[in-house]
Amino acid sequence: MKTIQWYPGHMAKARREIKEKLKMIDVVIELLDARIPLSSRNPIIDELTGEKPRLILLNKADLADEAHTEQWSAYFRSQGAEVIAVNAQTGQGVKKIAPACQKLAHALYKKWESKGMKPRALRAVILGIPNVGKSTLINRLVNKRQAKVGDRPGVTKQQQWIKVGNQLELLDTPGILWPKFDDQQVGMRLAATGAIKDELLDYGDVAAFALRFLAVEYPNKLTNRYEIELPDDLDDIGPVFEEIGRKRGCIIRGGLVDFDKTAELLLRELRSGTVGKITFETPAEESQA
């Protein structure tokens, strides 16, 4: 299996710049993928932001298992964070963000009041890994296309301040991954959900990982989507892969299954939610780690 690593130069630069700008920041908005809340958390962000008040947004909630999203929300709240499940594409939950930031800044407002200072717009930074939906979220917040949007990771390459009415000023930043994935399961989850550029991946390995996960955790969604039957022994996922390829017409000369095309199909339908609402990890798994 190919080891997944990705740490382009612009990310190292972004890390340095974020650290420099944090003195101006009142609230940190951490954007996570609701399908992989733990795997999409960058441990560097804890190091960079320290004790700054933090709002956690579970984005792409429309693609995640609702029951698990509720569990993750409770998990992060138990750690003292504010949490909102959002869908940046449709705007679900987005109107709650500014009030939540104001709630987090309660102590700061009190400090300004005690000094006789007039409250100003809160300054927030939005941090998250590539392709988690930062630019889409910002555009939804300001109701216009100010941040560059792309359906591939690494689109935002420089920082910019963006006003959200009179309540917030947002510092958009490039997505940053950490230099090394100590746990390759984390790398696979990131790859399966599209956080890592596809050209850096072995499609077959990632699709096999996703297929095995679906077969164990969401067998009904897998069998309903592809109209297949799962074997009792899932150690060898190859026959399941092949049956999906045949069912979906991924055939090459000689009647053989095109495994590359099948892998691409599976990942595309997984990422789009066509297979169903999927969450790759739970708080219970985190507590057992």
Distance CA 268, CA 144 (A): 28
Report CA dihedral (236, 240, 246, 252) to the nearest 10 degrees. Answer: -30
Pairwise CA distance, residues 190 & 220, whole Å: 23
> What token pair was written down for 39?
């795997």
User: 170: which residues sit within 8 A by CB, 6+ positions away?
Assistant: 29, 124, 125, 126, 138, 141, 161, 162, 163, 164
Contact 280, 39 (CB under 8 A): yes
| pLDDT of res. 156 | 43
The reported pLDDT for the residue numbered 151 is 41
Q: What pLDDT does 173 receive?
A: 67
> What pLDDT score was predicted for residue 200?
65
CA distance 33 to 29: 13
Q: Which amino acid is at 59?
A: N
Q: What pLDDT shows up at residue 88?
A: 93
Query: What does the pLDDT read at residue 155?
Result: 41
The answer to whether 8 and 178 are in contact (CB under 8 A) is no
Contact 174, 14 (CB under 8 A): yes
- pTM, 2 dp: 0.86
What six digits make up the tokens of 169?
Answer: 């000023």
Would you state the pLDDT for residue 150? 42
Q: Which residues are CB-contacts of 13 (< 8 A; sequence separation ≥ 6)?
A: none
How high is the pLDDT of residue 20?
79
Per-domain residue ranges for the chain?
9-172, 202-284
Q: Which CATH class is domain 9-172?
A: alpha beta
pLDDT at position 182 is 67
Is 125 in a helix, a strand, or coil?
Answer: strand
pLDDT at 179: 56
CB 172 within 8 A of CB 156: yes
Give 202-284's CATH code, choosing from 1.10.1580.10, 3.40.50.460, 1.10.238.10, 1.10.3720.10: 1.10.1580.10
Q: Which residue has the tokens 């390995």?
A: 205
Q: Which residues of the chain have pLDDT under 70?
A: 1-12, 14, 144-160, 173-182, 199-200, 286-289
Residue 270: predicted pLDDT? 96
